Amino acid sequence: MSSDRFDVVVAEYLREVEQRLSGLPVLQRRELLGDLEAHIANERAESGVSSETELLQVLERLGAPEVVASAAYEEAGLPEPTMPVPVVSVGAVPMPDAVAAASGGQVFAGTVTFAASSRFSGRAERTAFVDTSEVAAMVAASDPAAPAAPASGAPASGAPASPGPFSSVAAVAAPGSAPPAWVPPAPTPQAYQPPPSPAVIPPPDDLLRKRPGPYPPSGPGRASAGAIPGSSQPGYSSGVPPFGQPPYVGGPPLAPPPARSGSSLGWLRAAIAGVAVLFFLVALSCVGGAFLMRSGSVEEAPAVGVPVQTFSQEATDEPTVADTTDAVPPPGVTTPPTQPPTPEAPTTPPLPTATATE
Amino acid sequence: MAEVAQLSTGLRRGTLEFCVLAMVEHEDRYGTEIVRCFGAETNLAASEGTIYPLLSRLRRVGWLDSKWSESPSGPPRRYYALTDSGRSALEHFRTEWVSFRQTVDRLVGTGGE
């Protein structure tokens, strides 16, 4: 066996270990894989592995991948993740015709290989003897379209896999027949339907009515507002997948109003409002007065004479213009303007002289 | 039979790591060498591959130190050496193990008296 074949076997073993170490930190995983690889290389170099059997013995002593992985998780203090259940495929080995004829198909023994388990896990190949006629009958019973099981050693190839008690059976062999090849189902032609564009997808009603923002998706009122027509589920919170279609984004939510700084400036605002109202009233009164004056509904005020005070004795004795105009005429009667009398020249008293006083 | 295997696992847990420390107490050993020694002792390790995660943990906690060295035949080897903290832990285990073993022997009746 060539060294390349050994490398393939070793790489397969290490790959299976790595698949089971996915829950470990990457450094620990790489370290363990490096140690295992170095161990295998040392064993090959020092023990002189010359056949695949010896190499498999080395790997067997090293341990099954799940055992090594379990120890790694235990040492790391991490829970071991659950591996998915592998699909069991059943192959078949053709039976010689002579044996098939001798058995008559009644107790035909086929070889069932459980290829899902690892070849390094100690469960590599398991054989079981099954009665193919019984299997074919059960397959036929589960699938009415399948041909009936032959009563004798007739080949039963072509029995399709079907759900039921043998849902994991991929093929059932019959004596003298080659293992049936898996034929993929023919694709049904369908017209191409482009995926709906987000622009043509109408937004949910609740988003149109309740702006802003679609979040939180499970907010109050969503259960009834997000109902999908034709669905028995009323809304998102009732089992309808929330992301079955591209979400409608109505825009960012509005920013909350700024917090009030307090009521300390309330009096200032009230004063400003009062001044504004007062200014408005004054302006309104001015405009109204100007309008009334221009319309002429307001009469001019009567002329008022300014009394002239004189320091002479005669002027004080005579009646002044203010005395004559004390009688205000009644409204609607126009009186000619009176010319105020020219006041006489005031008489100045004689200035005392110094000689007189002396 | 499952109970017997579980008993072996339980007894192995907590003691195997100090066996590893004792193995590299006087000289440095590389991984394959340690694994071979444990492979000869059928009661200690279930499989050789389970020793490497243990070596990794002992190195992470600081009881072992490792260094890569070229091999005269084959790929490079990772040699493990005992650190001071590992030596202290090994001495502490030896003290505890003697009293523990005596107690168990006396209670279980395996003391030979």
Q: What is the pLDDT of residues A96-145, one digit of tens each?
A: 444 444 444 443 434 333 333 445 654 433 333 444 445 455 555 555 44
The reply to whether A98 falls in a domain is: yes
ipTM (interface pTM):
0.87
Report which DSSP code applies to B34.
H
Q: Are both A158 and A97 inside the same structural domain?
A: yes
Nearest-Cα residue of chain A relative to residue B76: A38
Which among A47, A76, A105 is the end of a domain?
A: A76
What is the pLDDT confidence band of residue A26, given thresholds at 50, 70 and 90?
very high
The residues on B that touch A, with CB distances below 8 Å, are: 30-32, 35, 39, 46-50, 52-57, 71, 73-78
Give the per-residue pLDDT at A208.
53
Contact A156, A165 (CB under 8 A): no
Whole-number pLDDT of residue A135? 47
Model confidence at B63, pLDDT cuts 50, 70, 90, reads: very high
With residues binned 3-state (H G I as helix, E B as strand, rest as coil), the percentages for chain A, rounded to 5, are: 40, 0, 60
> Cβ contacts of residue A123 below 8 Å, gap of 6+?
A114, A117
What is the average pLDDT score of chain A?
63
Total number of residues shown for chain B: 113
Give the pLDDT confidence score for residue A72 in this predicted structure: 92
Around Cβ A48, how many Cβ atoms within 10 Å? 8
pLDDT at res. A12: 93
| Contacts A74 to B, Cβ<8 Å | 53
Angle at B81 between CA B77 and CA B82, to 5 degrees: 160
Q: Which of B50, B56, B76 comes nearest A28 by C-beta? A: B56
Contact B56 A35 (CB under 8 A): yes
Higher pLDDT pick, A82 / B52: B52
Q: Please tell me the predicted confidence (pLDDT) of residue A164.
A: 38
**Same domain, residue pair A56 and A119:** no
Q: Are residues A24 and A59 in the same domain?
A: yes
- pLDDT score, position B97: 94
Query: What's the number of domains chain A is made of?
Result: 2
Which amino acid does the sequence have at A216?
P
- Phi, psi of A130, deg, nearest 5: -125, 155
Closest CA to A32 of B51, B2, B61: B51
Q: Say yes or no to pLDDT of A193 above 80.
A: no
Tokens of A316: 């004080």
If you measure CA to CA, which chain B residue comes closest to A60? B47
Q: Which residue has the higher pLDDT, A335 or B11?
A: B11
**Looking at the structure, do residues A165 and A123 belong to the same domain, yes or no?**
yes
CB A152 within 8 Å of CB A130: no
Instruction: Return the pLDDT at A259.
Output: 65
Q: Where are the domains of chain B?
A: 2-108
Residue A159 lies in a domain: yes
**Are A107 and A133 in the same domain?**
yes
Q: Which of A39, A45, A72 sits opposite B73 (nearest CB)?
A: A45
CB atoms within 10 A of CB B29: 19
Say whether both A157 and A95 belong to one domain. Answer: yes
- pLDDT computed for residue A342 by the predictor: 52
A259, two tokens: 């917090």
**Domain with A164 in it:** 85-179
Q: How far is B39 from chain A (nearest CA, A)?
A: 8
Q: A68 and A103 in one domain?
A: no
CB-closest option in B46, B53, B75 to A32: B53
- The answer, yes or no, to whether the previous bond of A212 is cis (omega within 30 of 0) is yes
Q: Contact A36/B49, CB-based, under 8 Å?
A: yes
Give the max Cα distance, chain A.
188
pLDDT at A125: 39
pLDDT band of A206, cuts 50, 70, 90: low
- CA A220 from chain center: how many Å? 17
Nearest in space to B31 (alpha carbons), one of B12, A12, B39, A16? B39
d(CA A333, CA A302): 11
A173 closest CA partner among A161, A194, A158: A158
Lowest-confidence range among A289-293, A294-298, B79-83? A294-298
Q: In terms of pLDDT, which residue wins out, A49 or A17?
A: A17
The pLDDT of residue A24: 92
Q: What is the pLDDT of residues B95-108, one digit of tens each?
A: 999 999 999 999 99
Contact between chains at A61 and B46 (C-beta distance less than 8 A): no
In a domain, A149, yes or no: yes
* pLDDT over threshold 50, residue A254: yes
Q: Does residue A311 have a pLDDT over 90?
A: no
pLDDT of residue A88: 43
Domain termination site, one of A116, A145, A179: A179
State the pLDDT confidence band at A271, using cuts at 50, 70 and 90. Answer: very high
| Residues B74 and A45 sit within 8 Å (Cβ to Cβ) | yes
Which of A164, A179, A194 is the C-terminal boundary of a domain? Answer: A179
b/e map A266-290, b = 16+ CB within 10 Å: eeeeeeeeeeeeeeeeeeeeeeeee
* Tally of CB atoms within 10 A around A204: 21
User: Does A93 reside within a domain?
Assistant: yes
Please give the pLDDT value at position A301. Answer: 64
- Any residues with CB less than 8 A from the CB of A5 and at least 6 apart, and which? A52
Backbone angles phi, psi at B68, to 5 degrees: -90, 140
**A66 and A132 share one domain:** no
Q: How confident is the model at residue B62 (pLDDT cuts 50, 70, 90)?
A: very high
Q: Which residues pair with B78 in a beta bridge?
A: B68
CATH assignment of B2-108? 1.10.10.10
Name the helix (H) or strand (E) containing A137.
helix A132-142
> What per-residue confidence (pLDDT) applies to B26?
94
* B106 Cα to chain A: minimum distance (Å): 32
Q: Is the pLDDT of residue A32 over 50?
A: yes
